[in-house]
Amino acid sequence: QTIYRKDYTPPSYLVETVELGFDLDPARTIVANRITLRHNPEAAQDHRDIVLHGEDIELVALRLNGTELNPGQYIVGTSTLTIKKAPLNVVLEIETTCAPEQNTTLSGLYVSNNSFYTQCEAEGFRRITYFPDRPDVMAKFTVMLRADKQKYPVLLSNGNLVEEGDLDNGRHYAKWEDPFKKPSYLFALVAARLVCQEETFRLADGRNALLQVWVEEGNLDKTDYAMQSLKNSIRWDEERWGLELDLDRFMIVAVGDFNMGAMENKGLNIFNTKFVLANPATATDVDFAGIEAVVGHEYFHNWTGNRVTCRDWFQLSLKEGLTVFRDQEFSADMIGTDSGRAVTRIDQVRTLRQAQFPEDAGPMAHPVRPDSFVEINNFYTVTVYEKGAEVVRMYQTLLGRDAFRKGMDLYFERHDGQAVTCDDFRAAMASAAGRDLAQFERWYSQAGTPIVTASGTYDEEAQRYTLTLAQRCPPTPGQAEKLPFHIPVAVGLLDAKGRDLALNGEGDTTVVLELTEAEQTFTFDAIAELPVPSLLRDFSAPVVLEYPYTDEELLHLFRHDSDPVNRWEAGQRLAMARLLRLTAAVQNGEKLELDYTFIAAQRALLVDETLEAAFREQALILPSESLIADQMEAVDPQAIHTARRFMRETIAKVLRNELQNAVAANATPGPYSPDAVSAGKRGLKNLALSYLLAAPDDFTLDLATRQVAEATNMTDRAAALVALIHSGADVEAQLQSFYDEFKGEALVVDKWFAMQASAPTTDVARIRELMTHPAFTLKTPNRARSLIFNFTNANPSQFHAPDGSGYEFWAEHVIKLDALNPQVAARLARSMDRWRRYLPDLQPHMRRALETVAAAPKLSNDVMEVISKALAN
């Protein structure tokens, strides 16, 4: 049941062409599939078995080269159909049926709000028809769709529309042809009642492309930003990478029931509505930024993923890590300023620490290129995506931007139209840059977060600063020992005035050191005074950096570092040390105290008008409860919560005036704009507001109440309401009127559930009550996530209730969800990953909940894999 990377063998047959005919019916859809296959010259000559995948489909008829096959002439297994001893050239005609309306897994062909959609990555195509459903089988697709014209007026598939017309019985048809060879996971169809915003867009080479954003009627007032983001993406890919749109038509379709964010099907991207629909009244700044990033991400896949795809699913990061890196760069370039770019980088670092480092340190730890899996859908992870993006970024850091671009060009030159591996990407980078990147491979094969320890000495006599860097990496399941990584460590040195020192003859103030051994020493000459080192600038590698900083040194960096990421980082270190001390004090029943030095530093930053609001916001956000938890031997969620609350309350009391000023000074009058400067102001203003409500009084409560009532955009409105909920104020009436106003907007209703689920004032009993609300359903992933995931993942003090009631709730819903949608259930299952790190009093409750799930009948592979790894490691 476990699949290993080392077992890869090339397919015995390749598919040349695929012709698919769909007679769409929610209860019983008929799929006629005609494929031409030929024996793969790279497979053993005597390997003549054709292996087709198929799941949850009914075989009606099977013909080989025109002759009907009898059941004795093929073997149907649980998820394969095998034809033994086939000829070299084969035409297969396969007729199957499926029941889209019964398909609650949202993988394959399914129905959402009375329309048809598909999701084929990773292995969903086999739920539509029998096919060699593996990414190294690439074929040309022609698709004929037939459906009721009234119910499904819009019929879409990949590529170009070549024919459409009416049929008998009120049905109609559309025929689509994709000119590019593609693996089956990139197939898509949509048959729906939809409308679109469209535009003709001029490409760099002068061709015109038709761009469309398809949504349900009533949502056309929320498509502008997605369309604008698509146009920006196309332009940016041309300008930064010389990559052009290769189709005459590019479509985005939004669907309300979707397992993930979006999917890069060739020419027909299908999106979770969350990453398409936005207007100022319904979407927040964070939503707008998410749309830009995901529209870009899926568009960029057209080259990194579709034109060059993965040989097998172990190589997933080849396309995902690279495409995340590309979307990160896109978002940063769209802001344009250095400080804006730094804020996006800080966000990336936060995501890594918040989600990826814990994954690397838990039972599901896996390398960027995993060696094995039970269920591939469990490996669409922050490690494959976000750490994978860091790995790509490190090439750029090590080779420089120009050589990296040459490496990208060479990658496309060598592999356009192919299904390749992470090694092929690395080889292209190595050739283009003329560098040996053999050791760099370990970033793909070794799991775990490396720890880099730094120490420095200054020799005044010699005017020399010596920096020693050492690396180690903790063991992970299946990998006890690790070899040294090739780590780029960007370094600067600050003088006593906070200025950057020149580090070499060229006058560089940041240099990238290459740490390749367990321990290495680097020297800097002509250093006139004892410096403060600024290490791992711009977060140059996904590692934990340890250096015995004193408070004075951190305060110096927090005030002066020219590298904004490290400036922020110094603040986080100062805050973390205090949060850990406060947590210990709570546990020991000691008096809680926060030093004035720290608050003064926060104050100085808050009022520094020379800094962008967005940066000040980042610098003032305290490390989250889960980040604090990661620093503790035995995690005590209640003590952490109390400590962090105390710290916020204390800051609020001492900086009350400054915070009030920040609220007033960062108003954004006039029409809403999602641009980074305006969003940054709203972010700082609303952070200040939430601080003020950490120590609420009549004035601040009134301030927030008015903002909820008077705000003209969702960002301000939701932020004020959230701050009020967290303050413990009575918000019953406000929640009710918010719901009444937005009950027709599914994405806003999701917010309504989410803001309650993640509030520390909401206990498990209240969550259960919210689940009986008429708007709640487990079947729509967005809704399930909004309430359940926000409780288990974003409300630690309630989820970890000492009586274990949160864990019982979790087990119950993993099991319930698994019966409907294993992919979503397996995500929820991950909430218990780190159970062995909690207080001894909590662990038995957690173990019992895990065992309850493990013992449930008919568990999916998805959930089983997660739970058994949690119990084993």
DSSP string over 565-586? HHHHHHHHHHHHHHHHHHHHHH
267 touches 178 (CB < 8 A): yes
Site residues for ligand ARG, 2-31, by CB under 6 A, read none
Indicate the helix (H) or strand (E) that contains 173: strand 171-177
Partner from ligand ARG, Zn ion, none binding residue 260, C-beta < 5-8 Å depending on class? ligand ARG
Nearest-angstrom CA–CA distance, 863 and 873: 16
Tokens 């189709």 found at: 247
By CB under 6 A, residue 223 contacts ligand ARG: no
Which of 114-122, 350-358, 636-644, 734-742 is the region at the interface with ligand ARG (rule: CB under 6 A)?
A: 114-122
267: left (phi over 0), alpha (psi -120 to 50) or beta: left
Smallest separation, CB 827 to Zn ion (Å): 16
Q: Tokens 């051994």 — which residue?
A: 517
What minimum distance in Å lies between the beta carbon of 249 and ligand ARG? 20
Window contacting ligand ARG (CB under 6 A); options: 71-79, 116-124, 671-679, 828-836 = 116-124
Q: What is the dihedral of CA 454, 455, 458, 463, to 10 degrees?
A: -20
Q: Is 262 among the residues that bind ligand ARG (CB under 6 A)?
A: yes
Q: Which of residues 603-632 bind ligand ARG (CB under 6 A)?
A: none
| Residue whose CB is nearest to ligand ARG in the complex, by number | 380
The item of Zn ion, ligand ARG, none sharing an interface with residue 825, based on CB under 5 to 8 Å by kind, is none
Q: What DSSP string runs through 589-634?
A: TPPP---HHHHHHHHHHHT-TTS-HHHHHHHHSPPPHHHHHHT-SS
Query: Per CB under 6 A, does 782 bind ligand ARG?
Result: no
Please say which residue, 297 or 785, places its beta carbon nearer to Zn ion.
297
Toward ligand ARG, which CB reaches closer, 380 or 568? Answer: 380
The angle that helices 564-587 and 637-654 make with each other, rounded to 10 degrees, is 120
* 320 touches ligand ARG by CB under 6 A: yes
Nearer to ligand ARG by Cβ, of 322 and 527: the residue is 322
Q: Which does 259 bind (CB under 5 to 8 A by kind): Zn ion, ligand ARG, none?
A: ligand ARG
The tokens describing 519, both together, are 């321990």
- Asked whether position 377 contacts ligand ARG by CB under 6 A, the answer is yes
State the nearest-atom distance from the C-beta of 320 to ligand ARG, in Å: 6
Closest CB 396 distance from Zn ion, rounded Å: 19
Tokens of 639: 């003590």
Indicate the length of the chain as a whole number. 873
| Residue closer to ligand ARG, measured from CB, 324 or 662 | 324
Rule CB under 6 A: is residue 259 a binding residue for ligand ARG? yes
Residues 6 or more apart whose Cβ sits within 8 Å of residue 40: 10, 11, 12, 13, 14
Contact residues for 739 (Cβ-Cβ < 8 A; gap 6+): 749, 752, 775
**Residue from 95, 133, 136, 298 that binds ligand ARG (CB under 6 A)?**
298
298 is catalytic: yes
Contacted by 748, from Zn ion, ligand ARG, none: CB < 5 to 8 Å by type: none
What's the closest the beta carbon of residue 270 comes to ligand ARG, in angstroms? 10
Q: How far is the CB of 297 from ligand ARG (least distance, A)?
A: 6
For residue 52, the surrounding DSSP H or E stretch is strand 50-53
How far from chain centre, in Å, is Cα 465? 40
Which one, 254 or 322, has the nearer CB to Zn ion? 322
**Per CB under 6 A, which region of 257-265, 436-444, 519-527, 530-538 contacts ligand ARG?**
257-265
CA dist., res. 157 & res. 33, Å (int) = 15
Q: Which two tokens stand for residue 273?
A: 């509505």
**For residue 78, what are the contacts with CB-CB under 8 A and spacing of at least 6?**
none
Cβ-proximal residues to 490 (8 Å cutoff; 6+ apart), any chain: 397, 510, 511, 512, 513, 536, 537, 538, 540, 563
Minimum CB distance to ligand ARG smaller for 540 or for 823: 823
Shortest CB 84 distance to ligand ARG, Å: 32
Q: Rounded to the nearest 5 degrees, what angle is found at the Cα of 564, between the Cα atoms of 558 and 568?
A: 45
Q: Please report how close the Cβ of residue 132 comes to ligand ARG at its closest, in angstroms.
A: 19
- Count of Cβ atoms closer than 10 Å to residue 611 Cβ: 16
Q: Which does 666 bind (CB under 5 to 8 A by kind): Zn ion, ligand ARG, none?
A: none
Which is nearer to Zn ion, 385 or 789 (by Cβ)?
Answer: 385
Q: What are the φ and ψ backbone dihedral angles of 133, each rounded to 5 degrees?
A: -85, 70
Q: Kindly state the smallest distance separating residue 270's Cβ from Zn ion, in Å.
A: 13
Nearer to Zn ion, 291 or 622 (CB): 291
In the complex with ligand ARG, the residue whose CB is nearer, 262 or 605, is 262
C-alpha separations of 720 from 637, 647, 649, 702, 787 in Å: 26, 20, 17, 11, 19
| 264 belongs to the binding site for ligand ARG (CB under 6 A) | yes
| Residue 263 near which of Zn ion, ligand ARG, none (CB within 5-8 Å, type-dependent) | ligand ARG
Nearest distance in Å: CB 518, ligand ARG: 36
Q: Minimum distance from CB of 297 to Zn ion (Å)?
A: 6
Residue 384 binds ligand ARG, judged by CB under 6 A: no
122 part of the interface to ligand ARG, by CB under 6 A: yes
Interface residue with ligand ARG among 55, 95, 121, 553 (CB under 6 A) is 121
- Applying CB under 6 A, among 15, 139, 211, 263 the residue interacting with ligand ARG is 263
Size of the site for Zn ion (CB under 5 A): 2
Query: For ligand ARG, which is the closer residue by CB, 304 or 642?
Result: 304
Q: What x/- string results for residues 661 through 690 when contact with Zn ion is judged by CB under 5 A?
A: ------------------------------
For 76, residues 6+ apart whose C-beta sits below 8 A from its C-beta are 54, 59
Report in angstroms how near the CB of residue 751 gets to ligand ARG at its nearest. 23
- Distance in angstroms (rounded) separating the CA atoms of residues 757 and 767: 7
Q: Is 380 in the site for ligand ARG (CB under 6 A)?
A: yes
d(CA 727, CA 743): 25
- Output the furthest CA–CA distance in the chain (Å, rounded): 94
Question: Given CA atoms 672, 677, 683, 688 in this order, what sign does their dihedral have?
Answer: negative
- Please give the residues from 816 up to 835 whose contact with ligand ARG meets the rule CB under 6 A: 823
DSSP code, position 844: H
> Which of 121, 298, 359, 658 is flagged as catalytic?
298
Specify whether the CB–CB gap between 589 and 643 falls below 8 A.
no
Q: How many residues at the interface with ligand ARG, by CB under 6 A?
A: 14
Distance between CA atoms of 83 and 49, rounded to whole angstroms?
Answer: 6
262 contact choice in ligand ARG, Zn ion, none (CB below 5 to 8 Å, kind-dependent): ligand ARG
Name the residue nearer to ligand ARG (CB basis): 560 or 827.
827
Task: Give the nearer residue to ligand ARG in terms of CB position, either 297 or 785.
Answer: 297
How far CA 862 is from CA of 56, 88, 213, 572, 638, in Å, comes to: 16, 37, 33, 36, 31
Positions 307 through 326 that interact with Zn ion (CB under 5 A): 320, 323
Residue for token digits 């140059």? 540
Sole binder of ligand ARG in the list 145, 190, 260, 579 (CB under 6 A): 260
> Which residues here bind ligand ARG, judged by CB under 6 A?
119, 121-122, 259-260, 262-264, 297-298, 320, 377, 380, 823
Residues with a catalytic annotation lie at 298
> Which residues here bind Zn ion, judged by CB under 5 A?
320, 323
